[in-house]
Amino acid sequence: MKTISGGVCAAKGFTAGGVHCGIRKNREKKDLALIFSQVPASAAAVYTTNLVKGAPLLVTKKNLADGVAQAVICNSGNANTCNANGIEIAEQMCELTAGALGISPADVVVASTGVIGQPMTIDPIAAGMAALKASLSETGSADAAEGIMTTDTKLKEIAVEFELGGKTCRIGGIAKGSGMIHPNMATMLVFITTDAAVSPAMLQKALSSDIADTFNMVSVDGDTSTNDMVTVLANGMAGNAPITEEGADFAAFMQALNTVTVYLCRRIAGDGEGATKLLECQVTGAKDTPTAKTVAKSVICSSLLKAAMFGADANWGRVLCAIGYSGADVDVNKIDVAFASKAGTIAVCQNGSGVDFSEEKAKEILTEEEIEILVSLNSGAASATAWGCDLTYDYVKINGDYRT
């Protein structure tokens, strides 16, 4: 397996594009994105667990009931959530996309992101559809990635190449996510494409399995959004024997999918609103996986720890505190904690108690942009990883006037 360029356009038969249609006030920012497969594709999706769901999610779920899709349209700048005419607008977006591409409206995945409860009209999308279709190209992944951004500061895209049954296959993805990100699923918008042949049932199985260890292990601010979803389209144009059951090919596909999703998780966490650092909590020595996951997520979600990481303060007591209230069944007298980065590793806690360490070295380690929080529970063989970011002054500034 190797990383390649191209994002969602790396796989055969996929094109993408993005334009500014007028939803967002800033004309310099794209606000409408499109991904298109030359042929109908197997499709799978997972959705936010928030009881309040954006209208696009409800329409997409209906459209994907048959496990087939051929296009994805997404706007930024307005979430189309809690609007009386939300379903109507989401369906109109599907109809406009279908009309432009010559496909069925039922084969369109529709998504929106932005302000919740803001009145929305179909007019700018209708006016921009011709330009959006014209923007489709085999090099349009970055434009599509830009079109779905809100408070994101960095494009998030990746693609990898791998083999299935002697055939070269590709899988790529783009994502948006910076704030309102918290487990469980989905915590962001992610669109993944592949030219591998995978049945809808196995594609759904792969995605549902993968998110448990990837997107459900990311938190920026403790708020689960209303519009989050992850979708995968597999058009089969690589020519491999279709994956219809578990086996070596399914395992290889899962590995490729996981490579894409872990990369996007790290990019999303590192680009949290106002963030200056990516935090990765690695928990080892747990008695079982649920315990490891509970501990990792509790640590990464601690506002006090996130603030300490912003200040490069090796306040390891906040790690122990987060573990203690996590609800996980652990022996606090066995816990070891260390901080690590490219500047080195330093142990700060052993057997639940502090140890002597150099504050200067700890500060050097915690000043880096990527920080690892290493927790060993010393009670078993299970492990888990969670991703988050530091908590800065800018997070409050961004969200203090997000709507206005």
Q: Of 20-24, 116-120, 374-378, which gets the smallest average pLDDT?
A: 116-120
Question: What CATH number does the domain containing 368 carry?
Answer: 3.10.20.340
Torsion of CA 85, 86, 91, 95, to 10 degrees: 80
Mean pLDDT of 384-396: 92
- Which of 254, 270, 286 corresponds to the end of one domain? 270
Is 27 a residue whose pLDDT tops 90? no
Instruction: Identify whether residues 226 and 339 lie together within a single domain.
Output: no
Instruction: Identify whether residues 266 and 196 lie together within a single domain.
Output: yes
Give the chain's domain count. Answer: 2
Instruction: Identify whether residues 212 and 337 lie together within a single domain.
Output: no
Residue 287's nearest CA partner among 381, 375, 384 is 381
Mean pLDDT of 362-378: 98
Average model confidence (pLDDT) for the chain?
94
pLDDT for residue 274: 83
* Cβ contacts of 136 within 8 Å, gap of 6 or more: 15, 16, 17, 34, 36
Q: pLDDT of 275-302, one tens digit each?
A: 899 999 999 999 999 999 999 999 999 9
pLDDT for residue 223: 66
- Which of 227, 247, 270 corresponds to the end of one domain? 270
Name the pLDDT band for 186 (thresholds 50, 70, 90): very low
pLDDT for residue 404: 65
Tell me, what DSSP letter sits at residue 302?
-
pLDDT for residue 115: 84
Q: pLDDT of 231-241, one tens digit each?
A: 999 999 999 99
Instruction: Identify whether residues 239 and 307 lie together within a single domain.
Output: no
Instruction: Identify whether residues 255 and 296 lie together within a single domain.
Output: no
Q: Which residue range(s) make up the domain with 329?
A: 278-400
Cα distances (Å, whole numbers) of residue 285 to 262, 338, 339, 354 = 22, 14, 17, 19
Instruction: Identify whether residues 82 and 173 lie together within a single domain.
Output: yes
> What angle in degrees, to the nearest 10, is found between the helix axes of 317-324 and 303-310?
160
Instruction: Identify whether residues 219 and 346 lie together within a single domain.
Output: no
Name the pLDDT band for 179 (thresholds 50, 70, 90): low
Give dist(CA 224, CA 116) in Å, integer.
13
Q: Cα 74 from chain centroid?
A: 15
Active site residue 231: no
Is 334 a residue whose pLDDT tops 80? yes
131 burial via Cβ count (<10 Å: 0-12, 13-18, 19+): middle
Q: pLDDT of 337-365, one tens digit each?
A: 999 999 999 999 999 999 999 999 999 99
pLDDT for residue 185: 44
For residues 52-77, one letter each, b for 16 or more C-beta atoms within 10 angstroms of the residue's C-beta and e for the rest, the string is ebbbbbbbbeebbeeebbbbbbbbbb
- Which of 214, 236, 270 corresponds to the end of one domain? 270
Instruction: Identify whether residues 262 and 309 lie together within a single domain.
Output: no
Instruction: Identify whether residues 265 and 297 lie together within a single domain.
Output: no
The model carries a pTM of 0.91
Name the pLDDT band for 272 (thresholds 50, 70, 90): confident
Instruction: Identify whether residues 30 and 89 lie together within a single domain.
Output: yes
Instruction: Identify whether residues 127 and 193 lie together within a single domain.
Output: yes
Instruction: Identify whether residues 226 and 338 lie together within a single domain.
Output: no
Question: What CATH number does the domain containing 185 carry?
Answer: 3.60.70.12
Among candidate residues 60, 81, 187, 193, the one labeled active-site is 187
